Amino acid sequence: MSGPEWKLSDDLKTVTITFPTSPPVQFVLDAAAVDDLLRNLGELRAHMTPPVPADYQIGQKVAAIPDPRWYTEPEMLSGDSLIHVRDPRFGWLHYLLPRASAQQLAQYLTRQAEDEPCPPTRPN
């Protein structure tokens, strides 16, 4: 049995997922339902095994989002850095970096912005 069939409607407002069961089962989801599905699948994936690797293997080919919108603000209680990044596939993603990690990220980004292109660096 092959996997489900995914189809975006001509008006770009719904996705139809057809599962190859007998009889076939079909779901039609609007953008809000897709957002809910992604959020819930993400939460469930976070608890599955094997886990997402803790470290990233630098140099992999990725489908990067060019120049995404982003915002940063201090977290109200601790003053750590809240980073908000817009991914057109998954919505706004939010990350909380402790001050030391935020400083390290700032150093890496500053170095990359000022230096000639060079091999990627890995944090400690």
| pLDDT at residue 8, rounded to an integer | 98
The answer to whether 47 and 61 have CB atoms below 8 angstroms apart is: no
> Where are any strands of DSSP class E within 47-120?
70-74, 81-87, 91-97
Instruction: Give the tokens for residue 89.
Output: 């596939």
Question: What is the per-residue pLDDT across 29-67, written as a single tens digit (0 to 9) for each?
Answer: 999 999 999 999 999 999 999 999 999 999 999 999 999
> Where are any strands of DSSP class E within 1-106?
5-8, 14-19, 25-30, 70-74, 81-87, 91-97
| pLDDT at residue 1, rounded to an integer | 64
Instruction: Give the tokens for residue 33.
Output: 């339902």
| pLDDT at residue 115, rounded to an integer | 87
Question: What is the per-residue pLDDT across 63-114, written as a single tens digit (0 to 9) for each?
Answer: 999 999 999 999 999 999 999 999 999 999 999 999 999 999 999 999 999 9
Question: For residues 78 and 71, what is the distance between their CA atoms, to the nearest angstrom?
Answer: 18
pTM: 0.82
- Domain segments of the chain: what residues? 5-45, 58-124
Residue whose structure tokens are 């975006």: 8
The answer to whether 82 and 72 have CB atoms below 8 angstroms apart is: yes
Q: Judging by DSSP bridges, how do beta strands 91-97 and 25-30 pair with one another?
A: unpaired
| pLDDT at residue 124, rounded to an integer | 64
Residue whose structure tokens are 């850095």: 81
